[in-house]
Amino acid sequence: MDLEAKFQLLAEEVRKNMVNPDVDIELCFPQDAEAGCEIKGYPYIKVKYVVEGHDVYEKEIDIDPIYWEKDVKELSGFVTFQIQQFMEGIDSVEYGGE
């Protein structure tokens, strides 16, 4: 499986795991970036999290070459964990959590 196909599967897995209307996920490839993606030398996932319908927070999760050999399920778990940590950090600031 080539890297682009692997990362497309990764994006699908992450979207399935992160079923949340407040989260938007874009997959950004160096050679074929979606609209709104900055061209970089490596693929990354751009996450947008909308809080209370108006505050938008963004995070880029780089998919460094050290991860390219991992299988899609393992990569998906890594990315999903990163997104959850990002959202929990925002929520704690927005909603005064601990």
Which of the two residues, 59 and 34, has the higher pLDDT score?
59
Backbone torsions φ then ψ of 96, nearest 5 degrees: 70, 30
- pLDDT above 70 as % of the chain: 91
* Residue 72 near residue 6 (C-beta atoms within 8 A): yes
The strand pair at 44-51 and 55-62 is best described as: antiparallel
**pLDDT at residue 36 above 90?**
no
86 pLDDT more than 90: yes
The whole-angstrom separation of Cα 87 and Cα 50 is 10
**What domain count does the chain have?**
1
Rounded to whole angstroms, the Cα distance separating 93 from 88 reads 9
Whether pLDDT at 33 is above 70: no
In one-letter notation, the amino acid at residue 74 is E
Domain limits at 82?
Answer: 3-94
User: How many alpha carbons fall within 13 Å on the CB side of residue 14?
Assistant: 28
For the whole model, what pTM was predicted? Answer: 0.80
Calculate mean pLDDT across residues 1-8: 80
